[in-house]
Amino acid sequence: MKKIIRTERLPIKLWTNRIEEGALRQAKNLANHPCAFKHIAIMPDVHEGYGMPIGGVMAIKEALIPNAVGVDIGCGVCAVKTDVDNLEKKQIKTIVYKIKSAVPTGFKWHSTPIYKDKMPKISSEELNPIACKEYKKAVRQLGTLGGGNHFIELQKGKDNYIWIMIHSGSRNLGKQVADIYNRYAIKFNEKLSDPIPKNRQLAYLPINNTKGRQYKAEMEYCVAFAFANRQAMMEKSLEIFSDVAGAIKCEPLINIAHNYACYENHFKKDLFIHRKGATSAKKGEIGIIPGSQGANSFIVKGKNNPESFASCSHGTGRRLGRKQAIKNLNLKKEIEALDKKGILHFIKSRKDLDEAAGAYKDINAVMKNQSDLLEIIEKLEPLAVIKG
């Protein structure tokens, strides 16, 4: 931990010495929230979000805040280590272009429900009205990457064995759930005798409220859907990898989510831990912290630090907003930096700069700032990246 701010109702504990003004304002809003418990934890990849900063961890008794989970519910990363320790550049290129052809990106979906057998089962129509309504669309979104910072990467460890890493979430299903229940939370908040200021975007739903119970069930369904989505893409990616590189063996899949709320016990209290752009880092828990495009990624093991509610960062964190990156970064320099490392990438024009390495923080500095939260067990070097 680098710093503690004690000017608000609850302390704010930061694993960074630098936090932008907007993210700090949001952290203070969290610390003054009537439902917040103990303290607010801010990870080293922090940057401004909606209501709650990305890289924030918040504990709440008996309530859930849709904006403290976010719109891409269950978004996370999975990774698989293969037994292949040598790929020619031609093979890498073939694998990447075949994956790019097979996995829809951006706003594209599958034309038919290819992975229907992987869809999580809906336990209750009463508790999952949005999931039921969106089911026919969602089943076609399963096995699709989405846009923004979502990616599929080929990487290698220090032992040269090849890894496949995938970052994606709950697609449009998660956004629908987030938006609809945030509106319910706003309506509930308006009826309170002392409502939370609307501009803070932190309206909540009590868990004993019907909408609160529904949001919990829908959120958990979205987390399961997002995991199934990553599994489907990993299955397809490994199939293509095997077609090109020959029969392969893989170690068990590692998966971790970073936009969700989970009922956990901390400081001898049962609490809803909201992690928005943060991942669980319980004792011995294996996690993944990806770097920006062209930077190293890390496989880590949690240390169960109570001060972070057993959490760590979910990535490297943005340094520049998307529009700011497109406007200010040098396209030629960003391309040259990736080409120099021999990374196969898809930065071709100025509009691609929103996801360039220069738009993100230094992953090595981020990892150094959270050495009390995790142990690094594998450092991975990028070989090729497909961006949404």
| Residues carrying an active site annotation | 314
Q: Which helix (H) or strand (E) holds 263?
A: strand 259-266
**Whether the Cβ atoms of residue 4 and residue 11 lie closer than 8 Å to each other:** yes
Six-digit token pair at 386?
Answer: 């497909």
**R_g of the chain, CA atoms, integer Å:** 20
Contact 366, 328 (CB under 8 A): no
Residue 122 near residue 128, CB atoms below 8 Å:
yes
Contact (CB, 8 A) for 20 and 27: no
Helix axes 210-245, 129-141, angle to 10 degrees: 10
Q: Are 314 and 333 in contact (CB under 8 A)?
A: no
As to burial, measured by CB atoms within 10 angstroms (0-12 exposed, 13-18 middle, 19+ buried), residue 238 is middle
